[in-house]
Amino acid sequence: MALIETEEAARRLARAISSDLALYNEDKIAEGVQNDNLFDVMADEVQEGRDLYQSRVAPDLLPRNLYDRAIIDLLVRSKAHVESPMW
54-82 pLDDT per residue, tens:
999 999 999 999 999 999 999 888 777 67
- DSSP conformational letter for 25: T
DSSP 37: -
Distances in whole angstroms, Cα of residue 43 to Cα of each of 14, 46, 61: 16, 5, 22
Q: Please state, for a pLDDT cut of 70, what percent of the chain lies above it.
A: 94
